Structures are given as C-alpha cells and as structure tokens.
Structure 1
Amino acid sequence: MVRLDENEISFPDPEVYEGHEGLIAFGGDLSVERIWFAYQLGIFPWYNPGEEILWWCPDPRFVLYPDEIKVSKSMRKILNKGIFTFSENKSFREVIRNCQQVSRKEQTGTWLSDELMESFIKLHEYGLAKSIEVWQNGELVGGFYGLQIGNVFCGESMFAKVSNASKAGFIHFVENNKDLLDLIDCQSHTEHLESLGAKMIPKKEFLKTLHKNNERR
C-alpha cells in the first residue's frame, strides 16, 4: 500500500496496482483537486473520521448500466401516482448533510467526515458534483449525490426519510439520463441497489469504460 505525499497529487495506477481488498493508498489530503483526479482514475476515499484517509479501487466493482435498471410493479405504481417530485442541484448541502446523519444498518457513526463533506460542497460549487432531491408535500424526504465525470456518474451516498424515497429518486434519475450516461458507479455492494439492477463487474472492465469516457471529454 502506498503512502501519498500531501504536496503532490498522484496515485498508483489502479490498472496494475491491486492493493489489499482494493485499498490502493493512504494519506494525502481531501483537496478538491486530489478528489477530482482520484475519481477520474476510478479511485475514491472511504475511511472513518479521525483516522487516516484511505483510497480504494475495488475488484470487482459494483455498477449499474442505465439500460439494465429494474423497476418493480409496486415501484412503477408509486412513480405513476406522483407521490414524489424530484429536482436536481436544488439543495445539495441539505442532501449531503442528511446522507452524513442518516443511520444505517450494521453501521455506527458515519464514514462521511465534515472535511470530506466540505470538499464535495466545493466540488458542487465548481459544477462537478450534483445532487438529486426527492420531495413530498414540499419536504425533502430523500436524495443522493455524486460526481459527474462525462458520461459516468459516480454515486456517493443516498438517504431516505420515508419509504421508497431514495429508490424513487434513483429510478427517476436513471430513466431521465439513459441517453447521457454509459455507467453509474455504485462503488460497493448494497442489496438496495442490487434490487434495482446493479451488479459486480471486473475492475478492468470498469476502468476501460471510465478511460474511454475520459478520452471523449
């Protein structure tokens, strides 16, 4: 595992460096420049607040191809009833703060530190990160955020205050961006996203798609 220099923005090449369970490097910082560079390489930070920053590129990679999204009959009914309304980049700060504070099964605390959250807010201000909001009766009840790198959306985290809110927002986003996205990077496995069609693919296949996307930009 490689220790990063805070004064130099660089990473090991994930194509040739495997790391332990996808752990590529540690250290460095959470500057906007480093995070943006990392995601273009297929690398993302994931660590416990108060501990050293860890950088990952797992193999296999959990992704969703927009054309393969699965929508159950019950979810289609919910979407057709108009229970929720949706927006984009209307309340990024609220979305990311809710993602930080939401409680999750088998997880104590949060992986989303204040420092990392502020970096993503800056990325949003630069037009590099986006949020999807889900509303019900004028209240923010769900949403998610991530980085848009050309035709690849790198999803970071989602939250829901009412049943099916985040799922409805994700389906709405995917169905309205099928022609614009080649891939949605979900990073690590969750049953929630697997039920919507996400699957594991080899790291090399993921990086190949990401590199082709970078070349087109």
Structure 2
Amino acid sequence: MSQRPFLLAPEPDAPFPPAELALRQPDGLLAVGGDLSLPRLLNAYRGGIFPWFSEGQPPLWWSPDPRLVFRTDGLRLASRFRRSLRRSTWRVRADTAFEAVIAECATRPRPGQDGTWITPAMQEAYGALHRAGHAHSIEVFDGARLVGGLYGIAIGRMFFGESMFSAESGGSKIAIAALALTLHEWGWPLIDAQVENPHLLSLGAERWPRHVFLERVRELVAFPEPVAGWTTRFGDLAASRLARLPGD
C-alpha cells in the first residue's frame, strides 16, 4: 500500500484509485487534488469516496475503514423522545429549502469544532448537485420556521449523508428518522453516515468493514432510480408519525 495519498489528474472525469487503497493513517485518506466538479463528485460517491477538507487545503478524498452506516429499518429513537413526538406539530419535507439547510449545516456552531469544512466552494458544488437532481435536503419545520434538517447525495438506491443540524432540540433526529422511514418504504436499504460519531451510534448506526460497505454501494448505485427533486415524491410528513418507529 502506498504511504502517500494518490494525486488526482486534473480532468473532471479522471478515475479515482480503488477505495481499498486508502491509507490507514490518517484513516481513509485516499487522494488529494482535483476539483468539486459534478462528474468528479459523482464518480467519488459511486466508489464509496467523499471529499472532506478545510478552507485553504486542496481537495482531500476519503474512504474510512470501518464505515458508519444506517440500515433504513434499523434507526432507533429513545422511548422518551418518541413519546414527545406524539404531541409534535412539526412537519418534514424535502428539497424545499436546500440552500438554507446547507447554510445552517455550515454555520451552526458544534461542540469541539472550530470552523467548518462546508466552505463556500463546497456549498456551490453541492448546490450544482442539487440542481442536477442528485443532492437532496430533508427539512423539519415548526410552522414556517426551519428547525432541523440534513442533506446528502442520492445515486441509484444509495443515500450518502453529508451533514445535519438542529436549531431546536430533536430537529436533526427527526430529519434522519424521516429520511430512514421514507427510504425504507422506497426500498432503499442504506444511508451512509461516513465517520463514527457517538450521537449517530446512539441512533442505531453500525460500523461496517469498508470492503462490505463498498460491495453494497456498487450494487445499490446501479439501480435505475429517477434523478430528480424529491419534493413531491417525499411529500409532507407529520413528525408525529415517527413515534411509531422502534425504540431503545
């Protein structure tokens, strides 16, 4: 195995090296360079690879081992939280406020995090993916106010989660739970959660060996799903419906 990440060719459609060749230290670093063009981003996700870098760095491309993954029928909500959902008047929609969701993910302070990797260039790139029908936002509303959400990439029947936020307690939990429920109903089995996180583990995320994750991704991205916005397909979901999900 190479002890340095691969240097990507400048052409947007240049292939990535196999994700299995990613470094162990730092875990999952595979390649450096290139850009955030639409063809390159789609090639990356199809290969189980994602960009993650800070302002002033060149693009860095990752495929960690293990990989954090949700089964769409495996998300768990605490019993107390599910009881509170029965009284909730919040609603969940998709692709009605993509730019607002990604801006919230970029700017909302997080414990132990200084700054953001969701740079203006990253926001612009994922906005282009959204307009192309591949990037989607899940939005939680209290009336007209956006109180939580997430965004990610859909290819075939695979959803690659990128980031989520809460403006009110429980906002991001409702977003991920609504996404999991809806994708399960559509026959999509997995949500990529990328890197281990105690909060995501508490919701039922699993650590998968990278080779197992990559096998499933290569299968799922090949499904001929429509590439389009999700506003109509997702619908308008009552958060109270999520109270019926399995608990802890």
Partner of 1:26: 32
Task: Provide, for residues 46-72 of structure 1, a one-character-per-residue CA deviation record: whole Å limited to 9, x for no partner.
Answer: 011111110000000000111211121
Q: Which moved more, 1:79-88 or 1:128-137?
A: 79-88
**Structure 2 segments unaligned to the other structure (5+ residues):** 225-248
The equivalent of 1:185 in structure 2 is 192
Q: Is 1:147 aligned to 2:153, yes or no?
A: yes
> Which residue, 128, 131, 154 being the options, matches 1:125?
131
Paired residue total: 216
Amino acid at match of 1:7: E
- Counterpart position of 1:215: 222
Q: Cα–Cα, structure 1 residues 122 and 208, in superposed 2: closer, same or farther, change >3 Å?
A: same
Secondary structure of 2:153's counterpart equals strand
CA distance in structure 2 between the partners assigned to 1:61 and 1:119 by the alignment = 24
Correspondence 1:81-96 to 2 at 5 A: 81-96=87-102
The residue identity in structure 2 corresponding to 1:137 is G
| Structure 1 consecutive aligned stretches of length 4 or more whose deviation exceeds 3 Å | none
Structure 2 counterpart SS, 1:215: coil
> What is the TM-score with the length of structure 2 in the denominator?
0.84
Q: Using the TM superposition, give the Cα deviation of residue 83 of structure 1 relative to its aligned residue in structure 2, in angstroms.
A: 3.5
Gaps of 5+ in 1: none
Which of 5, 20, 28 lines up with 2:9 in the alignment?
5
Alpha-carbon shift at residue 73 of structure 1 (Å)? 1.3
1:198 partner letter:
A
Counterpart CA distance in 2 for 1:106 and 1:54 is 21
> Which residue number in structure 2 is paired with residue 59 of structure 1?
65
CA distance in 1, matches of 2:113, 2:210: 26
Q: Give me the whole-angstrom Cα distance separating, in 1, the residues matched to 2:174 and 2:85.
A: 7
Offset from partner CA, 1:129-155 (integer Å, 9 cap, x none): 100001113201110000011221100
Tell me if the contact between 1:75 and 1:168 (Cα under 8 Å) persists in the aligned partners: no
TM-score when normalising by structure 1: 0.95
